[in-house]
Structure 1
């Protein structure tokens, strides 16, 4: 009698221990979801070549060049730069003055003949180092080549020489932003906005600079202003930015509302639809999360499948765990699993879907249905530890201990579920009054997790039971 009483106490402890393992797993899953961030498109930065005057300002033509200048002047006025380039082709670059070399460089830059432009502009600066417009043109050329270090040198020199407008400050700010100097970028964009307050590109640049410097309050004020002005070319992007800023400031409801508005403006954006679903799971409506995911599944293309499945892997286990404690959540898990029927996956992905279907059937006490799904999952992915554990549990509930033990043993060979498999098998052995085997399994579990006091406590309890059993015999 003492032995039976002690075994009941120990069996209860083991059940608590197994529940603790499940709780740890769920906490890790929730933590992964908490890292959700809004996906934003890369800004489309545009700098205006046409803002640069194509003329030999601040440099003097030689007397013998004036007739040539008069010849090409109508072409310059009509912006017929191809003909101007043809006219320059008959002249030797090194023989021209700095003024004509600069003009040649600007024309070649406008025609996107960058190597020729660079050669001409450098020749002009060699003759006249303080030629501000040549520095400015070279800065633009290096910007286009993404050689930002050289571009900064010539932008800074242009400012020093007194040629500075909104484009120049915006370009310098852009370089600083890309060079991880957000504070300098902020100053540059603010100066550009001072000169061109309605320029959405400078607003966008300042917004990104605020974000990169983690000044989220300033970024939030600016994006609110931009939304109020209603002049931004892509309001969807602004709502996504508003959502990101709200997330950074721990304002999930504002983030969710902003993301929903963005989805109304761009309903086909799969990535942000999935992010909205994840946010809804954590901070909004589970029903809405399922609705968003189901809608995405129904129209998914092949390229969307990896992102969709990644979201399902995060949300379905959470829904299934919630439905263990709250049966009203079961319908959401069921609806989402029904929607996955249209998802074209195979191999490990299909195995995981069958795992989730089996887990749901098990929760609904449909053991035969659960066995069918879980068996399929293991056939599709023999090393799917969670499916092995779940199938072992089904057989255990049906008092088919030999089959249950086989699956626990298979699962114990998989590192990710080894501890749970050893604990589950130990509980199975206790139910069969096979205490020495249960003790050996618990000792193996202790070697996997040597710092778990609860496992050590159960080992001591089992050792006590075995000693009492030997004494009783």
Structure 2
């Protein structure tokens, strides 16, 4: 089952579109802001203080007198909390009925004193197990605490006891959605929509439940209908964008996201998704522009913008990546910690290297290694600089840096391979073989295995052409590229395959050369 998350996954094959716009589980406070501002909801959930016949207990005669003469005037006054002290005194007596505990619990609930409200509702249900309103409010408290499994039982009992309302079924849908019972959530939301067809929350909940079941086509039918009724509803446009992503129609999703942006209602998440769609479609300039707009939003996050810059570098938009790094520094000066700054510096150095500015990249990398001696990516990048430096490579310093990187587990495999390629360039084939084997023991890759086999074959034959020994190995045809190591190729007169160079891309991942 697909999770609905922020679409920021950057993979080695490109920017992923498997995720969708954020439909994060809202905290209870977010839900309650809408619900408790709804007078109908308040009346339905909290209800009156008068008991309902058969499903709620009556008060004792003494309690009725106290409620009428003392509590009721206070409840009718400007501050209902003034009624709490006399009710606390009544509840403390051993003879208090369940109704007193309910009224006190409800006042606690309205005062946001949740632990005390819970205790009163539990006591009310203990004294009168069929107390429908107490069960309902108890469920509400458990939802606020984030314990949706615990909230299910009292709300289900409330419905079993005859509660038939849109709010009850809607909240049941919320519980099932959060406990990932999406079929039950759909059923509950359908009942809520039937009972309260004008309430948007239940329709959105129904759409969520359908999307989580990946029933995008059915959800789209409902969304088309909802958009005809209310074309200015931003939530519907965003939900449909999610649906189009699920239906593998990303450009249709982009149209919806553009509409939301033109409406002036877009948040950073939706603009980031728009940019990611353009990235996957090869529209890198348009994507870069969208990333910039996303960063201008108040809810933009550093982590997402860094991934965006990495994605631009990954597809070869190095100038844009460098520009975005600069804008990130301006936009998030307080969010960038030491580790984040180093991360940005490494990305900037890689991009400069890819653009041919090896000297500029080296200056940055020296600074990174000085600040963070265990930064494996920077060590490899700096080693590559010294290995490929023209006109005078510094193989000794490159080897020293590679050996340091080989001791850092996260980058050891790539460090071994790059070190091995340096030795291959020097025709030290036998010395390169154990390094490649070490790399494969950490992270097995087919193209590295192919390279290993060819190096082993070269080691067995020795310097010169593999078959006819017409002369020394020539440099790789792609030698001019600063990120490709010189590697042996066959003499044109020979038919024997020999090691091809492996490439370290601007994002730090090894791949076989073309």
**TM-score bracket for the superposition, by shorter chain length:** 0.7 to 0.9
Larger helix percent:
1
SS in 1 for 2:51: coil
What is residue 132 of structure 2 aligned with on the other side? 132
8 Å contact from structure 1 (residues 294, 339) kept in 2 = yes
Distance 1:149 1:375, change over 3 A: closer
**Residues 383-402 of structure 1: pairs in structure 2 closer than 5 A:** 383=376, 384-385=378-379, 387-388=381-382, 390-392=384-386, 394-395=388-389, 398-400=390-392, 402=393
* Residues 79 and 129 of structure 1: CA distance in aligned 2, closer, same or farther (over 3 Å): farther
Counterpart of 2:52 in 1: which secondary structure? coil
- Alignment CA distance shift 1:152-1:376 (3 Å): same
Counterpart check, 1:49 vs 2:47: no
Q: Which residue of 311, 319, 322 maps to 1:334?
A: 319
> Residues 265-320 of structure 1, C-alpha deviation per residue, up to 9 Å, x if partnerless?
457744443333222111252220122234556x599984443222211221322x
Distance 2:114 2:260 in 1: 40
> Do the aligned partners of residues 290 and 390 (structure 1) sit closer, same or farther apart at CA in structure 2, a change above 3 Å counting?
farther
Q: Greater shift after overlay, 287-296 or 192-201? A: 287-296
Contact 1:256 1:276 in 2 (8 A): yes
Deviation, 1:199, is 0.9
Q: How does 1:372-383 map to 2 (within 5 A)?
A: 372-382=359-369, 383=376
Q: Where does residue 475 of structure 2 map in the other structure?
A: none
Task: Give the match for residue 227 of structure 1.
Answer: 227
Q: Counterpart in 2 of 1:322?
A: none
Q: Tell me by how many angstroms 1:392 deviates.
A: 4.8
The separation in 1 between residues aligned to 2:293 and 2:81, in whole angstroms, is 53
Corresponding residue number in structure 2 for 1:309: 306
Distance in 1 separating the partners of 2:470 and 2:160: 98
Corresponding residue for residue 407 of structure 1: 398
Asked if 1 retains the 8 angstrom alpha-carbon contact of 2:416 and 2:439, the reply is yes
Aligned equivalents of 2:121 and 2:255: distance in 1?
Answer: 52
Q: Aligned match of 1:448 in 403, 417, 439?
A: 439
Instruction: Tell me how far apart the structure 2 counterparts of residues 440 and 121 of structure 1 sit (CA, whole Å).
Output: 76
Instruction: Call closer, same or farther: CA 1:463–1:127 in 2, change over 3 Å.
Output: closer
Is 1:347 the equivalent of 2:342?
yes
How far the C-alpha of 1:424 sits from its partner, in A, is 4.1
SS class of match (1:95): coil
- Whether contact under 8 Å (1:354, 1:373) holds in the other structure is yes
CA distance in 2, matches of 1:275, 1:107: 44
Checking the alignment, whether the CA contact within 8 Å between 1:351 and 1:376 is kept in structure 2 is: no
Distance 1:273 1:148 in 2: 32
Paired position in structure 2 for 1:273: 271
Q: Which residue number in structure 1 is paired with residue 238 of structure 2?
A: 240
Q: Mark the runs of 5 or more structure 2 residues left unpaired by the alignment.
A: 1-9, 36-40, 330-335, 370-375, 406-411, 472-514
Q: 1:283 aligns with which of 281, 284, 287?
A: 281
TM-score (norm 2): 0.67
| Residues 345-365 of structure 1: per-residue CA shift (max 9 Å, x gap) | 7434223302212211x2xxx
Could you say if the C-alpha distance between residues 404 and 229 of structure 1 is closer, same or farther in structure 2, counting changes exceeding 3 Å?
A: farther
- In the TM superposition, 1:52-451 aligns within 5 A as 52-54=46-48, 55-58=50-53, 59-71=57-69, 72-73=71-72, 81-89=80-88, 91=90, 93-230=93-230, 235-265=233-263, 269-283=267-281, 285-295=283-293, 299=296, 304-319=301-316, 332-344=317-329, 346-360=341-355, 362=356, 370-382=357-369, 383=376, 384-385=378-379, 387-388=381-382, 390-392=384-386, 394-395=388-389, 398-400=390-392, 402-403=393-394, 406-407=397-398, 410-411=401-402, 414=405, 415-418=412-415, 420-422=417-419, 424-426=421-423, 428-429=425-426, 435=427, 437-438=428-429, 440-441=431-432, 444-445=435-436, 448-449=439-440
Partner of 2:372: none
SS at match of 1:198: coil
**CA 1:294/1:372 → structure 2, altered by over 3 Å: closer, same or farther?**
farther
Contact 1:38 1:272 in 2 (8 A): yes
1: CA distance between counterparts of 2:292 and 2:122? 60
Deviates more, 1:277-286 or 1:256-265: 256-265
Distance in 2 between the 1:446 and 1:28 partners? 26
Q: Which has the larger radius of gyration?
A: 1
Alignment check: 8 A CA contact 1:411 1:417 kept: no
